Amino acid sequence: MRVELTVNGGLMTVDVEARRTLVDVLRDDLNLTGTHAGCEHGVCGACTVIIEGEVVRACLMFAVQADGARITTVEGLAGDDGTMHPLQEAFCAHSGLQCGFCTPGMLLSALVLLGRERHPSRERIREELSGNLCRCTGYMAIVDAVEAASRGPGDLPVPHQQST
């Protein structure tokens, strides 16, 4: 089936079998391997992407369902010139990652949270990120990073989700 996806601002057309999950199509067909598959049954959150402004588990959606949708993956967070998104900066500055496997999903979940609640408490951050498992950090440094980003001066835009 032919599917049109707007991924990180770029229109992409792929021909995929209906049974292929969005995470597999992003990774294998579009070579956007920043989105990771950790459990493939919707528990770990490693495959989280943003679709039409909302966080979605890419293992719990078939690519054909995303036909025509605007998708932001971790590859779309930094600017075209490579400038990191303030949230990415915060994760680096606060040891918010170790192996980095859960990080893409964690970043996207945190970004949508910060879009809804500009200054969430640590408690709220913990609650809202509880669908993204991390086995390395013990979470404290991730909460530090998200908290720091929420206190930063600049905007925390969700790239590539604006209507054109």
Partner 1 sequence: MKPAPFEYVRPDSIAEVLDHLASAEGAAKILAGGQSLIPLLSLRLARPEMLVDVNRIPNLSTIRASNGAVRVGALVRHSQLVSQDQHPLLAAAARWIGHAAIRTRGTVGGSLAHADPAAELPVVAVTLDATVHIAGRSAERSSPASQFFIGSLETNLADDEMITAVDFPWPARWGFAELARRHGDFGVVTVAAAEVAGRWRVAVGGVGPTPLRCPAAEHLLDQGARLSEVAAAAAAAVEPSSDVHGSGEYKRAMTEVLTARALAGQGLA
Partner 2 sequence: MGRTVRRKEDARLVTGRGRFVSDLNLAGMKHVAFLRSTYGHARITSISIEEAESAPYVQGVFTGEHPAFAGVALRARSGLETYVETAQPILAQDKVRFAGEAVAAVVADDRYLAEDAAELVVVDYDPLPTTVSAWAAQDAPWPGHMTPVHAEAPDNVLLRRTFQAGDVEAGLVAATVVVEQELFTNRHAANPIECRAGVAWWDGDRLTFWSGTQVPHLLRNCIADLLGLREGSVRVVAPDVGGGFGVKAVVYPEDVALCLIALRLPGIPVKWVEDRVEHLQAATHAREHRYRLRAGFSDGGQLLALDADVTCNVGAYSVYPWTAGIEPLMAGGLLSGPYRLGNYRCSVRGVVSNTTPSGPYRGVARPATVFAMESVLDEAARLLGISSVEIRRRNLIGPDDIPYRMPSGLVDDSGWYGECLERVLEQIAPSEVKAEQERRRTSGENPIGLGIACYNELTGLGRAASAGPRMPFRTGHEACTVRVNPDGCVTVLSGVCSQGQALETTMAQVVSDALGVDYDDVDVRIGDTAESLWGFGAFSSRQGIIGGGAAHEAAIVVRQKVIDLAAELFEANPDDLRVEAGEVRVAGQETPLCRLEEVARVAYLESHRLPESFEPGLEATRFYDPIRGAFAAGAQAAVIEIDRATGEIDILKWACVEDTGTVINPGVVQGQVAGAIAQGIGGSLLEKLEYDDAGNLITGTLMDYLMPSSADVPDISIGHVSHPANNPLGVRGVGEGGTLGPYAVLAGAVGDALGVRIDHLPLTPNDIWSVLK
Q: What are phi and psi of 3, to 5 degrees?
A: -130, 135
Please state, in angstroms and rounded to a whole number, the distance separating the CA atoms of residues 131 and 154.
26
- Strands 54-57, 70-72: pairing kind: unpaired
**11, 13, 41, 119: which one contacts partner 1 (CB under 8 A)?**
41
3, 5, 51, 88: which one binds partner 2 (CB under 8 A): 88
Task: Give least dist CB 60 to partner 2, A.
Answer: 13
59 membership: H or E segment, kind and range: none
Q: Report what 151 binds from partner 2, partner 1, none; CB cut-off 5-8 Å by kind.
A: none
Bridge partners (DSSP) of residue 51 are 54, 71
Positions in the binding site for partner 2 (CB under 8 A): 17, 19-20, 27-28, 31-41, 43-44, 46, 73-75, 77-78, 84, 88, 91-93, 95, 97-104, 107, 122, 125-127, 129-143
